[in-house]
Amino acid sequence: MGVAIVTGGSRGLGYETARALTDAGHRVVLVAKDPERLSQSAARLNCEYRAVDLGDIDSARTVFQEILETFGTPEILVLAHGVMSEKMSKTLRTTNEEWRRVMAINLDSVFTAINILGAAMAQARNGRIIVYSACLGRMSGPGNAGGLAPYRISKAGVNALVRNLAHETAHGTRGLLVDAICPNHTRTDMGGPDAPLSIEEGADTAIWLATRPFDPAVDKTGFLWEERRIIDW
């Protein structure tokens, strides 16, 4: 089993995904911001970790580069970090600071991680990239239907990035699988205690995408997934 990098791996859906990949025998590296929480989570999973503020694009680049040099090209990259925008963050009220904070963490660092680690995976013609998106970022269904503008629009950007990358990497035919997922409303710090899904249920599709057998002749990659099914972007 190869190396798996999991951002947002200190808690919530990222931690649950990392736990499953550790159980499956991968050498897992957790990435998150708070060094204390991260070191405790890494100790529980007996895995490596790197603490970084992914809201700082230069620090993010430095850390992903160091991870690549230290651990080699990963087999699995799960991007599960993210922040919600402030409650009243409508387009006409949001400040520059709030817009930049959410875009930097939710979108810019997804680009940076893929730009560095994904490039090595594409060159190796092997691996899987799974990005936690959100239904609130869809251009269909509940999607971009108003409110929480920085969050929704950052996730719409994530969807566009993943779809574009899937086309750039020829939909799995060159060995790299690239997918986005909607975990749905899950009981994490972000989702809150009243969310309908348990953490295990919320993380199921990402774990499945990271570990499923894949036959390029029949299986699909390069899509947005929910409950193991492809849904409209």
Ligand X SMILES: NC(=O)c1ccc[n+]([C@@H]2O[C@H](COP(=O)([O-])OP(=O)(O)OC[C@H]3O[C@@H](n4cnc5c(N)ncnc54)[C@H](OP(=O)(O)O)[C@@H]3O)[C@@H](O)[C@H]2O)c1
**Chain positions contacting ligand X, by CB under 6 A:** 8, 10-14, 32-34, 37-38, 53-55, 80-83, 105, 132, 134, 183, 185-186, 188-191, 195
CB of 63 to ligand X, least distance (A): 10
Report the residue number, 219 or 232, with the smaller CB distance to ligand X. 232
Report the residue number, 26 or 81, with the smaller CB distance to ligand X. 81
Report the residue number, 68 or 130, with the smaller CB distance to ligand X. 130
Report the residue number, 112 or 186, with the smaller CB distance to ligand X. 186
CB of 215 to ligand X, least distance (A): 28
Type and span of the H or E element at 158? helix 149-168
Please tell me whether residue 48 adopts helix, strand or coil conformation: strand
CB of 226 to ligand X, least distance (A): 10
**Alpha carbons 39 and 91: distance in angstroms, whole number:** 37
CB of 13 to ligand X, least distance (A): 4
Report residue 93 CA to chain centroid gap: 28
Tokens for 2? 């190869």
CB of 33 to ligand X, least distance (A): 3
Give which of 58, 54, 188 is closest to 134, Cα–Cα.
188
**Alpha carbons 7 and 32: distance in angstroms, whole number:** 6
Residue whose C-beta lies closest to ligand X: 12
Report the residue number, 132 or 225, with the smaller CB distance to ligand X. 132
Q: Which amino acid is at 225?
A: W
